[in-house]
């Protein structure tokens, strides 16, 4: 059961009497305050601006926190011209120079000057290199240049025809593509014959 609350000042004089219907207690068994007791009592008050119910322990509060909070001022907008695409836009700050991030990156990206033309290291043809390391004019010349830089492999015999050839790869065992095809077809025939015999 709730009782009225008597609030006293530090000198012991009765300051005010709060009826129980205007109070909300943290504990229902709270005793009535007496002289010399400092207790913050929350009251439910209706805001005079918005009409919302709010809780406070101050008797002179008339408005809720939302109505007392200062309203945020609208951010100023500035008419600007993008330095990259030359289009007009509304900037949030005076120092903004670009309309979006893409224009910012495009404008700040330094253009790479083209490499001067040079002769191909394989065929001698003049070409426009893509970068400073490009030394061949085409993929064919590039492969030939790569073969020149590699250490030559030892000659070996072809597994199909027996001709001695210079391999360009350590795992190459046939001299030409036709020899590789003939060996593959022979393996398929042997596999088919063995499968027929087993069945």
Tens of pLDDT, residues 106-122: 888 867 788 899 999 88
In a domain? residue 113: no
Q: Residue with structure tokens 């065992």?
A: 173
The helix (H) or strand (E) run that includes residue 164 is strand 164-165
Number of domains in the chain: 4
Mean per-residue pLDDT, 30-52:
62
The pLDDT, as a whole number, for residue 33 is: 45
Minimum mean pLDDT among 46-50, 84-88, 162-166: which range? 46-50
Minimum mean pLDDT among 12-21, 123-132, 143-152, 156-165: which range? 12-21
In a domain? residue 103: yes
- What is d(CA 198, CA 123) in angstroms, rounded to the nearest whole number? 57
The model's confidence at residue 8, banded by pLDDT at 50, 70 and 90, is low
- Same structural domain, 19 and 46: yes
Domain encompassing residue 179: 156-198
Mean per-residue pLDDT, 17-30:
57
Residue 183 has pLDDT above 50, yes or no: yes
In a domain? residue 47: yes
- What is d(CA 7, CA 41) in angstroms, rounded to the nearest whole number? 9
* Tens digits of residue pLDDT in 76-99: 889 999 998 899 999 988 899 999
- Same structural domain, 60 and 17: yes
In a domain? residue 83: yes
Average pLDDT, the chain: 79
């Amino acid at each position: 059961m709730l009782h009225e609350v008597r609030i006293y000042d530090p000198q012991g004089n009765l300051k005010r009497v709060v009826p129980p219907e205007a109070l909300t207690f943290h504990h229902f068994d709270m005793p009535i305050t007496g002289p010399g007791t400092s207790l913050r009592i929350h009251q439910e008050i209706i805001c005079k601006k918005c009409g919302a119910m709010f809780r406070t322990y101050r008797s002179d509060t008339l408005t809720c926190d939302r109505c007392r909070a200062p309203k945020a001022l609208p951010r100023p907008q500035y008419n600007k011209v993008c330095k990259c695409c030359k289009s007009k836009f509304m900037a949030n700050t005076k120092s903004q120079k670009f309309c979006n991030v893409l224009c910012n990156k495009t404008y700040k990206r330094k253009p790479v000057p083209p490499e001067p033309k040079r002769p191909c290291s394989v065929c001698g043809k003049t070409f426009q290199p893509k970068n400073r390391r490009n030394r061949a004019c085409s993929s064919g010349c590039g492969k030939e240049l790569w073969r020149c830089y590699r250490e030559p492999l030892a000659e070996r015999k072809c597994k199909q025809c027996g001709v001695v050839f210079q391999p360009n790869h350590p795992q190459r065992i046939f001299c030409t593509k036709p020899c590789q095809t003939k060996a593959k077809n022979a393996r398929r025939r042997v596999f088919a014959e063995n499968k027929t015999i087993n069945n």
